[in-house]
Structure 1
Amino acid sequence: MSGKEEKHLPLMKFILWTFLTTIWSVSSFAQDTGRKLISLNDQWEFHKENGTTEKVNLPHTWNDKDVLDDEPGYYRGLGIYKRKLVLDESAKGKDIYLVFNGVAQEAEVLVNGKSAAKHIGSYTRFIVPITSFLNYKEDIIEVRANNRFNEDILPLTADFTFFGGIYRHVSLLITNSVHFSQKENGSAGVFITTPQVSSATAKVQVKSTIENTSGTAKKVQIQTILFNAQGKEISSQISALNMLSGGNSTLVQDLNNIKQPELWSPENPYLYRVVTKIIDPKTKLVLDQVSNPLGFRWFKFDANEGFFLNDKPLKLIGASRHQDYENLGNATPDALQIRDIELLKQMGGNFLRVAHYPQDPMILEACDRLGILASVEIPVVNTITESEAFTANCLNMQVEMIKQNFNHPSIIIWAYMNEVLLRTKFANDKPRQQIYFDHVRELAQKLDDLTRKEDPSRYTLLVNHGAWDIYNKVGLTKIPMIVGWNLYSGWYSGTPADFGKFLDRHHKELADKPMLVTEYGADADPRIRSFSPVRFDKSVEYGIYFNQIYLNEMLKRPFVSGGMAWNLADFNSETREETMPHINNKGLLTIGRVPKDTYFLYKAYLLDKPYLKITSAQWKDRTGVADSASLFSTQPLQVATNLKSAELFLNGKSLGAKEAVDHICSWQVPFADGLNQLRVVSATHSDQEDINFQLQPYRFTDGLSFKSMNVLLGSKRFYMDEKEHQLWMPDQPYRKGSWGWIGGEPYKGTNNRITYGSDKNILETDNDPIYQTQQVGIQQFKMDVPDGEYELSLYFAELVGGISKESLAYNLDNTHKKEVEENRIFSVAINGSAFLTHTNLAKDFGYTTAIRKKTRLTVQNGKGITIDFTPIEGKPVLNALQLRKVY
């Protein structure tokens, strides 16, 4: 297949000064381009419907804060933006447009109170002609943006947040009356294809649509020039064109016989530049000009042998990406967006799934520049609406996506559905459900047909979740050129061992269909660690284990064209609760783009240069109980590497060399109290980290000074409270001379999916993991501490009951048991003195609400601390405990 490259608007942005003449005088635009593109990101006033007015700059969203609070839901409604636009008389005679790169999700643009345009869809560019509405004195631009739920607008539901606002850049575009058409679905009207590419020769075809808005016919010339990366002209063509008054014309130009083109690839992302000009033949002035990237490459997907680029096999490994960022929502600055692609490249990735919607133009620009292959899709997610309006919006968004991104050499796939049968409607009415399935299939066929017509040079992709039978039965695996599978065996359902079996089934039963693993992943909360990781404990260690299995299975099967980790970075999903409410933690990076251990694992798998990295980058502060009466605590340590082996040193002493297993070397490290200096070495490379360790005594009489401890009841995981710099460790049964619980058992949840604690949002805290596990039926907690003054805090939360919420559709075996609410009334005494009396957590404080009760006590006569829990009705619980020695 040949490739194509996209035209999008120039990146140069300029502050709009008060008068246009001033803008022109300071502009550094080359004066022969014929057009000017000027930023309009400043000086906006904004208010929600019936809300107060504030001054804002773009990009902007009104949901950057309310999606993170404890109140379910977020503002989905109308937001109104206004700004002044003062243009000089000299702007008359020009064609003037507003260019919006992204407004969520219904937009109406008014100029001086009159509606100039409406647009549907959050994720694609639209261009509004405003010339006829201007008074050239003090014009008022108003944008009415609405992110309300609308059953006719995709997406309907999804595992991400539908932020509102003008969240991408807005520009003023000024052109001459003869210009490249601004009516081509938000594109710049120039479309480039490479009908023939080989290492010996190539051909380029440029299709331009030109518009004449003047009242007279025009004779113009269209010149297209191909430049190499060094700015040398390689080929050019000039054509004459007669333009009717008020008419559009389309011109096709061929640049043939390009000798020995430099080929574009991830290893060598060589970019040519195609400059297309409209020239006045009399004055030789340039009336309009656009520039596009061009990469010469060809590619194919094979159902047996995988993906080939420029006739060479290439396993596509990378990640999907969401566009939001920590505390910013999706109003993300340019530099942070570009950094995402740089981080993907540094990881060794060669593919980006732009999911689940078209993203800012600079994302694909970065992919072109850095050598990242890409797919782009529209957000038909989970379900559809069976209406003509919904279908029309889907088809229109697909056309906008294709035309606006047409000229990017990085794009090799257009996609149009994701897990569309995840929420199957009419489950209790099978005949009606079959009609729904027929409509889903018909929509998929229309989108696929449309895509192949608009761009026959790229592949089509439809993405399914792991429900093999239903997608085959409905017929969705037969429509696209590539079948994508989102597979979470070992997370949402099943075990990791099921993953390889699924891949083999596809190869056997859909032998003619190339496949991609378009999603896979396991939540890894960077604050949570475990030495015995299990499904749904949210530990980084389980994430490492999960990704090792998936990478191994994909890499050893040639027929698997590639795999995209879900996700490049953590992202906002307002309906999620779990350990970090409203955040999906499957990212290889945090939502603030700090690498997790899983990111380092991918570098070990993918980089072609030697790599050695002590992981646990965010676990530089540890705690643990000493081994017996020793003055150290033995804990595992992992090193990610693509080398055969490595040797670890602790404070200068060798702990031996270890062979790498699935790109991980592991040691049992005896950490001492205080600073521990680690250094891992190979023949040519090394890495080092300092670990601060807070050692807890095995017995309080062992001579190790006791300062404080934080204990999670019913837990096998460690937790780092980053804000208060506190380290929490798992509990233990009571041991004489030490500490621990007596009686009871760990809380096991209320459904078959989760056997580890609770995944509910704990209200009034950011430290949900402290409260999400507990010991149920606890009788005592004893600490045989030496005499002294202590501060003791007990942590509680009622995990059973509260508002019944719809379970996430993604949890495929989420078979809830009905929660049986029981009165839980108990009393607590400390060293024989009443502390809490007849406490009813649900009634007194509320369900799933963080409760902390602190006291100060004097320990004397060698009695230590004994906490008694007396049941009055139901079983007592304790979620966590904190003890600090004052003196």
Structure 2
Amino acid sequence: MPLKNLRLYLIIICFLISSTLFAQQSIRLNTGWEFLQRDLGGIWEAIRPEDKGIPHDVPHWQQVTLPHCFNARDAVNPDMNYYQGPGWYRTQLNINNPYNDGRILLHFEGAGQKTDVYVYDTKVGSHLGGYDEWTVDITKAVDDFKKTEICQTQFKGSVPVEIRCDNSRDLESIPSRLSDFTVYGGLYRYLNLVYTPAVSLDKVFAKAEVDKDGKQGRLDVGVRIYDPENINAAGGDIRIIDPQGKVIQQSKYNLSSTAREVPVGSFMVKKPQLWSPDHPVLYTVEVTARANGGTFTQREKVGFRNFEFVDHGPFMLNGKRLLLRGTHRHEDQAGVAAAMTEGMIRQEMQLMKDMGVNFVRLAHYQQSRIVLDLCDSLGILAWEEEPWCRGGLGGEVYKNQARQMLTNMIEQHYNHPSIILWGLGNENDWEGDFPEFDKEKIRAFMSEQNDRAHRLDPSRKTTIRRCDFCKDIVDVYSPSIWAGWYRGTYNEYKQTTLDEFNKVNHFFHAEWGGDSHALRHSEDPDKAFVNIKTGGGADERAGDASLSGGDSRVSKDGDWSESYICNLFDWHLKEQETMPWLTGSAFWIFKDFSTPLRPDNPIPYMNQKGVLERDMAKKESYYVFQSYWTAKPMVHIYGHTWPVRWGNEGEQKMIKVYSNCETAELFLNGKSYGVKKRNSQDFPAAGLRWVVTFKKGANNIRVVGQQGKTTVTDEINQVYQTDKWDKPAKLILEKIADENGFATVQVKVLDKNGVQCLDAVNWISFSLSGDGILQDDLGTSGGSRKVQAYNGRATIKVQTQNGKSVVGVQSPGLQTVFINL
């Protein structure tokens, strides 16, 4: 074999060996699980053998894979409240620790909300809190069980593990159930079996700093040793690896005590490559711990960057102003709820980056380590917060949980360069969980948490959203401004924001926007403005989220169309380009999510403020942001999900195009309507709008965008309806697609003359009988069995299973209709 090929062969072998060893250290436990959604009479019910005269499936366990959420479907069930209570998981593990005298750990990346862990009938650990990571050492329990006869007879050498999760309501636990999101239950993040030597690394703290000139970097490394047997001595190596994979610094350390967190190395890095949203370069800190012949290695990613919230001014990153262009994120997905796989998370975060986001608020709890890793690698700055959300302030159990969860969040995500803000709470002025609502006690605890955050991490800033009586405590404050949704009109945004900016030293605007019912469009989206009071502020107040009562407001009196929300976003974004003092903002929210507080929304139990639906389908508003926030040439005609427009014959209509190109030319039915130049201050659509006359029936719309030498195009077809309609009188139901085992059915709302009522918002309820499976409880416009119509229609899919089914549709006041599949 040639020497060159031999070297390559050896490199590959070494890589495979090291990968294998790493894989042995941590194994995701995704398969082989059974689940029971109820409580047990005792742990014996989970482990008793079949030969005790009780069928093994009583009570009924179902096979599941992890991650798994109790509420994958029922969170958006329109007919009942979601399940809140205990649930059990069980599996059998084949334990094979490669380390002599090593430890066996179960590492939970998150489980909701209270969790107990058993090995056979021995309780080995408990945890309170649904969002932070935690670990249970099962070494002794496994060793003890393996010595029993039952291990070999009943379990054939494997080790039974049972886990009880519980998301029952509890006023003395955070987050409050008054929070506007579902508090899920289950093993909804990854669970890992981890093997370590007798002494290992519990935490590696890597603090990367750089001076304002970016010429000198400093990296301080500290460790916390995991040493349950009190060996009390360890040594090891530290290596600093640059973004290109080159080792640039290394050193050794020796510890005579493992009893506390200790610094083990400090390194100077000249002219470090700076981390930023445009260049998210990452260095690697590799720390090895050795003791008693065992070796354990941990790798952490870090980034060199400096940031500043200028007093009464903008945000600076690495010495230059950066407008924070942000959104928010909940861990929630159609069909799985909180149990998002790594692939789902990656897809969502990439969509976020592709839209131009450089900042995200992770609401309202510590999120998956996968999310933070992606923030680092994609270049998305982050605000992460503890789940002290609404309801008031409880007693010592409540406060101790908040203290521990803040501590865990900061320690577990300390190394991520993406994080710049630690959130201490959300809407803490929202009372209701306790008889007493004492602002001074809330202030005192907020101050305590603020001090704790600064003590644990002096390098980041603290923040809260919407608690005016605590705004002087934190470093950065975000008030409530919902111009054009809960209060006022969207053209009040700039002045209202300036007024709030002047009240604090460091300002950020988290949460703005509004709901949009995907697939609903409007010819007159701003018509609700006529009754809206202006000049009275744009803050959200008690009762504003309700769809009835109170003052006139768009959230109650508007049409919830995608057309309106695009105008609102468009106005905000064009104004932000003229606000040089603005640190930035984050609109609420990137993706629709479930909430028990909104049963009357067009999709029941869904907060519909996302620019994506809950299944990650893009709404039209996604492209509004992309047109302002991205550099890669793009062009998008508004109306891809608007099949039928309406008006009088010969009436002029506006076509809007969202694009970041310098110019765009519109063609209607092959005829050019001219070239327009983009101007961000020319509202709406930055001047890329054309007033045209549609022909009755089918119309083809095409746009050509030009950015330098790059040409991009978009094309849609729309029907123009001139027939007028009367009030809804009947339904028709038809199959419009049938592929890959799924049939799509569509119901239309017609008047007495058979004309589609294109402004109809009737409630539609789908049902199914037969062999198929209705694709419902997804929380999407096309995946809900109860949903408001969008432009006089609604759709749903059926998995046919090669059988026969009947789909029925009901709507109050109209005759029920059926279709055979």
- What is the one-letter code of the residue matched to 1:48? Q
* Partner of residue 505, structure 1: 499
**d(CA) in 1 for partners of 2:369 and 2:726?**
48
The structure 2 residue matched to 1:769, chosen from 749, 764, 788, is: 788
Q: What is the distance in 2 between the residues matched to 1:740 and 1:348?
A: 38
Matched, 1:479 2:510: no
Equivalent residue number for residue 517 of structure 2: 525
Partner of 1:104: 112
Once residues 526 and 34 of structure 1 are traced to their aligned partners in structure 2, the CA distance between those partners, rounded to angstroms, is 43
Once the two structures are superposed, the pairs formed by residues 415-494 of structure 1 within 5 Å of their partners are 415-423=423-431, 433=437, 436-464=438-466, 471-472=467-468, 475-494=469-488
Residue 853 to residue 227, structure 1, CA distance change in 2 (3 Å): closer
How far off its partner does 1:542 sit? 0.8
Query: What residue in structure 2 maps to residue 573 of structure 1?
Result: 595
Structure 1 residues 819-830: aligned runs within 5 Å: none
The answer as to whether partners of 1:34 and 1:288 remain within 8 angstroms in 2 is no
Alpha carbons of structure 1 residues 760 and 161: separation in structure 2 relative to 1, 3 Å: farther
**C-alpha separation in 2, matches of 1:614 and 1:252:** 56
Bigger drift between 664-673 and 225-234 goes to 664-673
* Paired letter, 1:155: P
Match of 1:852 among 797, 815, 819: 815
- What is the letter of the counterpart of residue 355 of structure 2? M
1:229 aligns with 2:243: yes
1:636 is aligned with what amino acid? M
Displacement of 1:611: 3.2
CA distance in structure 1 between the partners assigned to 2:360 and 2:604 by the alignment:
26
Any residues of structure 2 matched to 1:669-680 within 5 Å, and which? 669-672=692-695, 675-680=698-703
Q: Does 1:261 find its partner at 2:275?
A: no
Give me the identity figure in percent.
26
1:444-486 CA deviation, whole Å, 9 max, x = no partner? 111111101100000000110xxxxxx44xx301100000124
Instruction: Give the whole-Å Cα distance in 2 for the aligned partners of 1:771 and 1:688.
Output: 24
Query: Who is 1:777 aligned against?
Result: none
> Which residue number in structure 1 is paired with residue 538 of structure 2?
none
The residue that corresponds to 2:508 in the other structure is 516
Following the alignment from structure 2 to structure 1, what is the Cα–Cα distance between the partners of residues 817 and 135?
60
- Counterpart of 1:646 (choices 664, 681, 692) is 664
Q: CA deviation at 1:757?
A: 9.7
Residue type of the alignment partner of 2:26: L
**How far does residue 250 in structure 1 lie from its aligned partner after superposition?**
3.5
Matched to 1:206, the amino acid is: V
Query: In the alignment, which residue of structure 1 is the partner of 2:774?
Result: none
User: What is the deviation of 1:760?
Assistant: 8.7
1:642 partner amino acid: N
- What residue is the counterpart of 2:290 in the other structure? 279
Structure 2 partner of 1:170? 191
Pairwise CA distance, 1:407: 0.6
Deviation at 1:240, TM superposition (A): 2.0
* Change in CA separation of 1:771 and 1:589 when aligned onto 2, cut-off 3 Å: closer
CA contact (8 A) 1:35 1:287 kept: no
Secondary structure of 1:167's partner? coil
Alpha-carbon distance, 1:420 to partner: 1.4
Provide the residue aligned with 2:581 in structure 1: 559
- What is the CA-CA distance between 1:659 and the residue it aligns to? 5.0
Greater Rg over alpha carbons, structure: 1
Give the alignment of 1:581-592 within 5 angstroms: 581-592=604-615
In the alignment, which residue of structure 2 is the partner of 1:687?
713
1:211 has 2:226 as partner: yes
Give, in whole Å, the separation in 2 of the partners of 1:587 and 1:179: 43
Change (3 A) 1:173 1:759: farther
In the other structure, the counterpart of 1:95 is 103
* 1:568-647 superposed matches below 5 A: 568-576=590-598, 577-619=600-642, 621-624=643-646, 627=649, 635-647=653-665
Rounded Cα–Cα distance in structure 2 between residues aligned with 1:761 and 1:651: 35
Asked if structure 1 preserves the Cα contact closer than 8 Å seen for 2:78 and 2:605, the reply is: no
> In structure 2, do the counterparts of structure 1 residues 566 and 728 end up closer, same or farther at CA, with 3 Å as the change threshold?
farther
What SS class does the counterpart of residue 450 from structure 2 fall into?
helix
How many angstroms does 1:196 deviate by?
Answer: 4.1
d(CA) in 2 for partners of 1:579, 1:270: 43
Contact 1:306–1:560 (Cα < 8 Å) also in 2: yes
Letter in 2 for 1:852: Q
Q: Which consecutive unaligned segments of at least 5 residues does structure 1 have?
A: 1-24, 182-188, 465-470, 699-708, 714-719, 747-755, 774-792, 798-840, 842-850, 856-887
Residue 223 of structure 1 aligns with an amino acid whose one-letter code is D
In 1, Cα distance between equivalents of 2:636 and 2:755 = 36
| Unaligned 5+ runs, structure 2 | 1-13, 40-58, 147-156, 529-553, 730-735, 738-742, 768-783, 793-807
Match of 1:490, as an amino acid?
G
The answer to whether residue 259 in structure 2 is matched with residue 248 in structure 1 is: yes
Mean Cα displacement is larger for which, 402-411 or 668-677? 668-677
Which of 484, 490, 510 is equivalent to 1:496?
490
Distance 1:439 1:87 in 2: 49
Counterparts of 1:71 and 1:53 in 2: how far apart (Å)? Answer: 24
Partners of 2:337 and 2:306 in 1: how far apart?
37
Alignment of 1:545 with 2:567, yes or no, is yes
Q: Give the deviation of 1:258 after TM superposition.
A: 1.1
CA contact (8 A) 2:359 2:586 kept: yes
Is residue 202 of structure 1 aligned with residue 217 of structure 2? yes
Deviation of the 1:532 alpha carbon: 0.8
* 1:43 partner letter: G
Distance 1:683 1:241, change over 3 A: closer
- Kept after mapping to 1: 8 A contact 2:479/2:500: no
TM-score, length basis structure 1: 0.73
What SS class does the counterpart of residue 281 from structure 2 fall into?
A: coil
CA distance in 1, matches of 2:199, 2:355: 46
- Residue 255 of structure 1 deviates from its aligned partner by 3.5
Amino acid across the alignment from 1:36: Q
Residue 516 of structure 1 aligns with an amino acid whose one-letter code is: F
Aligned to 1:119: 127
Note the C-alpha offset of 1:266: 0.8
Is 1:359 the counterpart of 2:374 in the alignment?
no
Q: Which residue of 2 aligns with 1:239?
A: 253
Letter in 1 for 2:123: S
Residue 584 of structure 1 deviates from its aligned partner by 1.2
C-alpha contact (below 8 Å) 1:386/1:439 kept by paired residues: no
SS class of match (2:168) = coil
Number of residue pairs matched by the alignment: 694
Change (3 A) 1:325 1:90: closer
- 1:89: Cα distance to partner? 8.2
State the 1:65 CA deviation.
1.6
**1:52 Cα offset (Å):** 2.0
Q: Is 1:348 the counterpart of 2:362 in the alignment? A: no
Q: What's 1:155 paired with?
A: 175
The aligned amino acid for 1:540 is E
Query: Matched residues in 1 for 2:226 and 2:701: separation?
Result: 67
Cα offset, 1:48, TM superposition? 1.7
Amino acid at match of 2:121: G
Match of 2:391, SS state, is: coil
SS at match of 2:583: strand
- Aligned amino acid, residue 105 of structure 2: Y
The amino acid of 1:769's aligned partner reads Q
The code of the aligned residue for 1:657 comes to V
Retained in 2: the 8 A contact 1:650–1:679? yes
Relative distance call for 1:97 and 1:275 in structure 2 (3 A) is same
Instruction: Tell me the alpha carbon deviations over residues 172-212 of structure 1, each in whole angstroms, 9 at most, x when there is no partner.
Output: 1111111113xxxxxxx110112444421211100011233
| CA separation of 1:175 and 1:150: change in aligned 2, threshold 3 A | same
- Separation (CA, whole Å) in 2 of partners of 1:710 and 1:276: 73
